[in-house]
Structure 1
Amino acid sequence: MPKLNYETVRYGDDPQVGASNAKQIFLLEELLRAIALQGYSFTTVTPLTHQRFLLGFDGLAKNTRDIFGWNLPFKATILPPYIFKIMTEADLLFNGGDCFRSKIRISSLGEDLFLHSHFPTNDSHAVFFGPDTYRFARFVRHSLRLFQLQSGFADRSIPIRVLDVGCGSGAGGIAVIRSLPIHQLYELNLNDLNFAALEYARVCANVAGIPVNVLHGDFFNIKNSQFDLIVSNPPYLNDPAARLYRDGGSLLGLELSLRIARHALGLLAPGGRFLLYTGMAITSDDNNPLLSELLPYLANDKFQWTYDEIDPDIFGEELKQSNYQNANRIAAVGLTVMRIT
């Protein structure tokens, strides 16, 4: 693994984590493996769709999809005893007397399962997974297919150094590894400020059989290191509650994406790529705030880049908020940058 000027968390060694968290990691892995053996799959929807489903459902969960997908209350007897025992030991249950509700949800993306927070995701340090995650993973897969058609990106004798910035559930980094040629060597680093997100991401990577470095802390403290591939799907909404998983700061939520892009460009090795999937509030169709801010950094012989509007209209419900009163829409966009020299 690369030597980073950064805090590398290894469970069981770091005093922040210790034996209790090592046990939690073990229990979460056991749970995810047990659920996988049940043939589980669930596609996570938008909060509005999820809420609409709940309004039309007044009963208890009938299966694991109801429990870990729709996050419905359930009787203990509906789960195999060993799964209920794991959840009890790991403190993953809200106790409602004669029924329970899971503190986590599980979603599927391709062949992998991912842990994330219970519904609704109102907590500041919630771990997000949703339709945006599927768009991000698709953007990663598509970009890597194009890279592999170009010479010089992958050399099977040399590990590709990968960094997923603000990894959340770990879906982006794992999507990268799933998209590499089967014999390609790699070094995957997962970064997040949210310790719970890193815990979930580490579990999902372990269950997927993908070795990782887990980097807890501020991405902007990573210095004197180089990566061949950096991917990021940062928070990009302007959230008055400043929740970590969704607040992108000023410029109607674009500030964090811009900061990540500028710092990531300085960490790319020659021939390295940066993939940014983000959302951008559009106030006028003849104005692109992302490119306007980044062109001074991209317009030189050091970089080649492409830009695409992936989905023209997402999170439309946010436009009702007063802070978006001048925005016409929010678009999902993708920026791909290659360092040439």
Structure 2
Amino acid sequence: MTSSLHDPDALFELGQALQHAGYRFVTITPASHRRVNGREGNARAVDLRGVFGWSRPFTEDTVPGEMLALMRRAGVLRERNGHLCATVRASTIGERLYFHSAFPTREDDAVFFGPDTYRYVAALKRSMEAIAPPRRAVDIGTGSGAGAIEVACRFPDCESVGADINGFALSLAAVNARLAGAANVPTLHSDLLKDLDGGFDLVLSNPPYILDPSELRYRHGGGMHGAALSVDIVEAALERLRPGGTLLLYTGVAIIDGRDAFLDTIRPRLDAGCPGWRYEELDPDIFGGQLDCEGYEDVERIAAVWLHATRAS
């Protein structure tokens, strides 16, 4: 199934209406989301957070008429079992609002947003305090556009490209950039950096890192228990970074017998071209339920890691 956005202007206006209404929602893990929605009294939405945050079915009188009309224009409203459902969610990080895919995310072109996004943005903000203002940046696999938008808002003179192979993600990221007031975020189709020209002062990414038997694009990171895509991003970034340019990468790695194969793989390249690079575990144990899945029989934990590497001048 392919997702589509019929009218980006209508979705933008819907986002503005939600912001004006003081809407706030923090998106949690899918497992926690299911638990909360499964509680008594949570089967149907009774307010905007239930509709746009918890992705619960609702009736027409739950949403103001003007919002419902905007949902219809945007193509983000469908009917299921006699109730209405939003096909997008809206999450907030601080004052910014981000549209992404509704729960549950089953489609191959789903735009995922969750706890990883919050950790990614928090680490990005800390690292941006220590780098020179970039002239050109790119967020590989931008998804909702959160990374590219944060860079654009922090460095308004920087062209902050949101790159993705997912057309639906690019549509939502463009709307999210407008909602953030970031006019310097072009959203462009690209497989890694293959379809983009020129060099970059800053490359950032929060890629998929799960070994997914279904190979859904928003989850599957390929071989090495899902780390292969992150390795490819490191390689692509170091080839296209300008001298003195920086790579900021948030990803998840499978730890086996205390060993981080992702770090072992990228270390020689970093040592050769990036003096003083830094690598840290932001969280030693994420998505623990994944350890029960096929392909993780030898994995003891999945760690969220952050790489900050600056190419030699």
TM-score (norm 2): 0.94
Matched, 1:313 2:285: yes
Q: Which runs of 5+ in 1 are unaligned?
A: 1-19, 148-152
* Contact 2:283/2:303 (8 A) holds in 1: yes
- What does residue range 101-180 of structure 1 map to in structure 2 within 5 Å? 101-147=85-131, 153-154=132-133, 160-180=135-155
For the residue of structure 2 that corresponds to 1:107, the secondary structure is: strand
Give the alignment partner of residue 95 of structure 1, picking from 61, 79, 83: 79
State the partner residue of 2:202. 229
Identity of aligned residues (%): 40
Question: Partners of 1:69 and 1:57 in 2: how far apart?
Answer: 18
Unaligned runs of 5+ in 2: none
Deviation at 1:60, TM superposition (A): 2.4
CA distance in 1, matches of 2:240, 2:78: 43
Contact 2:25-2:92 at 8 Å conserved across structures: yes
Q: Provide the C-alpha distance between the structure 2 equivalents of 1:302 and 1:222, rounded to a whole number of angstroms.
A: 25
Partner AA of 1:75 in structure 2:
T
Q: Which amino acid aligns with 1:56?
A: R
Q: Which amino acid aligns with 2:48?
A: T
Counterpart selection for 1:191 from 130, 153, 163:
163
- TM-score, length basis structure 1: 0.87
1:64 counterpart (42, 48, 70): 48
CA distance in 2, matches of 1:28, 1:206: 11
Q: Displacement, 1:301?
A: 5.3
Distance in 1 separating the partners of 2:85 and 2:268 = 50
Question: Deviation above 4 Å: which 4+ runs of structure 1?
Answer: none
Tell me the alpha carbon deviations over residues 96-133 of structure 1, each in whole angstroms, 9 at most, x when there is no partner: 36421111100001111001111111111110000010
Helix, strand or coil at the partner of 1:266: helix
- Which residue does the alignment assign to 2:307? 335
**For 1:218, which of 169, 182, 191 is the aligned residue?**
191
Letter of the 2:130 counterpart: L
State the Cα deviation string for residues 188-216 of structure 1 (Å, max 9, x = none): 10000110001000000011111221111
Give the Cα–Cα distance (whole angstroms) in 1 for the partners of residues 25 and 220 of structure 2.
26
Cα pair distance change 1:95/1:297, threshold 3 Å: same
Residues 228, 271 of structure 1: 8 Å contact kept: yes
| Equivalence for 2:214 | 241
Quote the Cα distance in structure 1 between the aligned partners of 2:255 and 2:195. 31
Kindly state the Cα deviation for residue 224 of structure 1 after the two structures are TM-superposed: 5.0
Distance 1:301 1:207 in 2: 38
| RMSD of equivalent CA atoms | 1.6
